[in-house]
Each structure stands twice: as structure tokens, then as C-alpha cells.
Amino acid sequence: MPENKLYPPEGLRPPSSFTMQGLREALEQGTVLEDTALRCDAGHDLLFSLGGIRGRMPRTEVLAPWISGAQRDIAVLSRVGKPTCFQVSALQADEKGAPLAILSRRAVQERAMDFFLEHLCPGSVVATVVTHLESFGAFLDIGCGIVAMLPIEYISVSRISHPRERFQPGQRILAAVRSVDLEKRRFTMTHKELLGTWMENASWFSPGETVRGVVRSVKEYGSFIELAPNLSGLADARTDLQQGDGVSVYIKSIRPERMKIKLQVIEKLPPREAPEPLRYQITDGVLDRWVYSPPGYEKEPVGTVFTAAGP
């Protein structure tokens, strides 16, 4: 996966060992550190134990200012028990005279956002962490807790009913920037382009093989069976299949010029114990154009063009 050493997603930064001397140096140099938030007090300040040195992150320093309203309170509370990045903004004594480090995640997020707005553009491939899932898409930490949206229609070419069919919270995935809203300081992401073209996916299969698939939609004329996240084929209609069923399928034919795979369902299979690992064809760089359909495809080419205003 591409590395973002300056501002990686929270939880991917190398562990820090905390000493007073180290915290003083971090204060002077503006070093980005990370530790697990232990508690959130009644005033919504986050509390840390930095190797035995108390750390306090005031409520106003937990989140960058572009997050507001009720969403802001939930985001503060949700940091408890999770890795949280910060810089040291002050070292002082508490009411008992013990050392106390005042921390700011907000300052780090503002630095990271400025960096991303300068260096990321449509097509940029980045390492991310899935933070949570909704029916309409996945939310990704692209660095230091800055969250970007991955709409469900951009997760894979094969359509799914919910992002949990591909991801789970805490999972590390690759994604590409689809568009950048400079005014709202917001990134929208895409994922399907990184999973490969029709030909790249079809090359894993051959006519005459029997393989596992997942039923993605059931029509009167047949069922669409997903062989890989970016590849599906059509099987004859059966009355005993429904969306989400695992099946074994016999591959009858593969026709690149029509971008079609003809399948025959052999039998239903029990659910998988764990999701199949994602296989990426693109892992770094900046995309300007991605063509999904094979050369010689009979219809209009299918793909994505990445532009500054979004495709």
C-alpha cells in the first residue's frame, strides 16, 4: 500500500514511547504523536496516560472546525478506546503539581488537511482505514482522522446492497480520490478502479472451470453471479436463488467482445466464514483515466476519467 508517513490514518502510526524529554522535544518541533484516548470526562475533554504522564485534550482541540453540531459531540465521545493523533501544545503542572501535557488533535488535522489539499488530486491513490459503514457508503480515514466519503456505487463494479458486503470497520483498504471540494474541504473517494479491468479479472478464470460465486441480483431471465468484485456473469434462471447466496458455478463461456460470461449454477453453498481478501491491480500513483471494458468491446467504452472537477 502507498505510504503516508507524515499524516497516516489513525492507528497506522508507529507506537510512541513517552518521556518528559520526548514530550518537550515534541512540543518544540511540532511532532505528530499518537496514543489511545482512555476517558472522556464530563466536560468532553479526552484524557490520556502518556507512559504515566497525564495528557489532556480539551474538547475544543479534539476536532478540526469544519465538523460541527451534534456530529461533533458524537465524534469526540467516539475517540475513547481508539488511537488518537495529536501534537503537544503545552506542558504544565496540574492542581497537584504533577506534569500535565495539553494536547491538540485539531492542530494536526488542520496541518494534514492543508497538506492533502495541496498534494492530493482526483486520481491520487492513498492508503485508508474504514471508520464506519452506512447503507449509502463507507467512511474512510485518509489521514489523522480526516474522514472522506466512499459512496456505495464506487466500491466495486459488481453492485452490492450494503458496504458491509465488502468492508468492515478498522479494515485497511486502498482508495483513489474521485473529487475534491476545496470550499468545503471535502474529499470523495472511489475504490472500484483499483480492483482491475474486466480483462484483468476475467484472466483469473477459464471456460470449463467450476468456481465459487455470489448471487448479486435475480431477474426473470437469469441471475447475475459475482465471480470477483469487478466481474459478474449471467446464469440461467432458477427459483431457489436469492441475493447474497453463495453458489458454485460452471463457466460455460467468456466473451470479451461482448463483456459477457455465461454461467451454470451447480449448487448453493454455505456462507463464507470470512470475506475474501481484496486483490488490487493498482496500488499507487495518480490515475487520469481508467477503462474497464476490454479492447474491441462492441459498445461504448466503460470507465472513468479523473478531472479536477471530478469525473
pLDDT at residue 71 greater than cutoff 70: no
Q: What is the mean pLDDT of residues 252-276?
A: 92
Cell numbers standing for residue 86: 495529536
Q: What is the mean pLDDT of residues 136-156?
A: 96
Supply φ then ψ for residue 209, to 5 degrees: -80, 155
Distance CA 62, CA 241 (A): 49
The three-state secondary structure class of 121 is coil
pLDDT at residue 16 greater than cutoff 90: no
Q: What is the mean pLDDT of residues 183-192?
A: 94
Report if residue 8 sits inside a domain: no
Q: What is the mean pLDDT of residues 11-34?
A: 92
Residue 302, pLDDT score: 92
Supply φ then ψ for residue 106, to 5 degrees: -55, -45
Distance CA 35, CA 17 (A): 9
Domain with residue 35: its CATH number is: 2.40.50.140
Instruction: Tell whether 76 and 138 lie within a shared domain.
Output: no
Domain carrying residue 100: 20-113
Instruction: Tell whether 262 and 210 lie within a shared domain.
Output: yes
Q: How far is CA 233 from the centre of its chain?
A: 27
Residue 311, pLDDT score: 47
pLDDT at residue 165 greater than cutoff 80: yes
Report if residue 310 sits inside a domain: no
Q: What is the mean pLDDT of residues 121-138?
A: 96
Are 290 and 193 in contact by the 8 Å Cβ rule? The answer is: yes
Strand bridging mode 186-190 / 172-181: antiparallel
What average pLDDT is seen over the chain? 92
What letter does residue 32 receive in the DSSP assignment?
-
Residue 94, pLDDT score: 83
- The residues pairing with 127 across neighbouring beta strands, listed in sequence order, are 174
Instruction: Tell whether 161 and 184 lie within a shared domain.
Output: yes
pLDDT, one tens digit per residue, over 46-69 is 999 999 999 999 999 998 877 655
Domain count, the chain: 3
Instruction: Tell whether 145 and 290 lie within a shared domain.
Output: yes
Instruction: Tell whether 92 and 158 lie within a shared domain.
Output: no
Distance CA 156, CA 150 (A): 11
